Amino acid sequence: MARVAVVTGGTRGIGAAVSKALHAAGYKVAANYAGNDAAAASFKAETGIPVYKWDVSSYEACAAGLDSVKNDLGPTEVLVNNAGITRDAMFHKMSPEQWYAVINTNLNSLFNMCRPVIEGMRERSFGRIINISSINGQKGQMGQANYSASKAGDIGFTKALAQENANRGITVNAICPGYIGTEMVRAVPQEVLAKRILPQIPVGRLGEPEEVARCVVFLASDDAGFITGSTLTANGGQYMA
């Protein structure tokens, strides 16, 4: 029987590529989204993948949303925590709202999503949890103290949860993308891309969302059963950890 995979932020950007790749690999995919109803409807029409709207920064919303997925498709066996936001500002100008919005969505969401499913995974002796962190969680980034802290926290969470559940058939891994050619990144002026961003990347180009998605498909597979607590860096050589 096809395994059930839940992808947060799964209808746009990297998340959409992950949802499509898992679907193509034979998983029953549920794509979560937060607010863009038009994009979610377009994604569903294009792919046939069911979409579910809830706010990953709310534990109650996550528990209810995962219950809906369970009722429709079955219990979550693969969880991809991809949802994330930015609220960039230099720290001395950052508001509490900017700080907490990013921490709640990018870091606290991992608790909110994993806690409702981890007991079921342990009972079934199988689970795959894949957390999408960031290069900026590894090296830091000016103007992103909130984002870098949240993404570094994702890595620490990954390592701890992996240790707790390794003997129960559950793997927990992180992926740290660099500059990926999503709609948001491609909206950066070409001159900025050419002069300030691409020179930092040894392979000389942006990554593609599908390249991150292929990393997810591998870590979700039975072939990756001996890999847990790892951080897979996908950044074209920009930062080597």
CA distance 209 to 177: 9
Query: Which one of the listed residues 27, 33, 52, 147 is annotated catalytic?
Result: 147
Residues in CB range of 26: below 8 A, 6 or more apart: 2
Task: Please give the DSSP secondary-structure letter assigned to residue 207.
Answer: B
Name the DSSP letter for residue 222: G
User: What is the spatial distance between Cα 188 and Cα 202, in angstroms, rounded to a whole number?
Assistant: 19
Contact 22, 29 (CB under 8 A): yes
Pairing outcome for strands 231-234 and 51-53? unpaired
Q: Which amino acid is at 82?
A: N
Strand partners, 128: 78, 171
Q: In degrees rounded to 5, what are phi and psi of residue 174?
A: -120, 150
**33 noted as active-site residue:** no
Rg (CA), the chain: 17
Q: Which residues of 33-71 are buried (b: 16+ CB within 10 A; e: fewer)?
A: bbeeeebbeebeeebebebbebbbbeeebbeebbeebbe
Tokens of residue 61, six digits:
């919303």
Catalytic residue numbers, as ranges: 147
